[in-house]
Amino acid sequence: SQTIHQWPATLVQPVGSPLSLECTVEGTSNPNLYWYRQAAGRGLQLLFYSVGIGQISSEVPQNLSASRPQDRQFILSSKKLLLSDSGFYLCAWDRGRGGNQPQHFGDGTRLSIL
Amino acid sequence: QKEVEQNSGPLSVPEGAIASLNCTYSDRVSQSFFWYRQYSGKSPELIMSIYSNGDKEDGRFTAQLNKASQYVSLLIRDSQPSDSATYLCAVNRGTSYGKLTFGQGTILTVHP
A41 touches chain B (CB under 8 A): no
3-state secondary structure of A95: coil
A41-56: b or e for each residue (b if 16 or more CB lie within 10 Å)? eebbbbbbbbbeeeeb
Across the interface, do A100 and B44 touch by the CB < 8 Å criterion? no
Between chains, do A94 and B98 touch, taking CB under 8 Å as contact? yes
User: Across the interface, which of B94, B98, B102 has its CB nearest the CB of A44?
Assistant: B102
Q: Are A40 and B41 in contact (CB under 8 A)?
A: no
A99 DSSP 8-state letter: S
The dihedral through the CA atoms of A41, A43, A48, A49 has a sign that is positive
Taking an 8 Å cut-off on Cβ atoms, the answer to whether A90 and B43 are in contact is: yes
Q: What is the pLDDT along chain B (112 residues), one digit of tens a residue?
A: 678 999 888 999 999 999 999 999 998 888 899 999 999 999 999 999 999 999 999 999 999 999 999 999 999 999 999 999 999 999 987 665 667 889 999 999 999 9
DSSP B37-65: EE-TTS--EEEEEE-SSEEEEETTEEEEE
Question: Tell me, what amino acid is at A113?
Answer: I
- Report CB contact under 8 Å: B51, A105: no
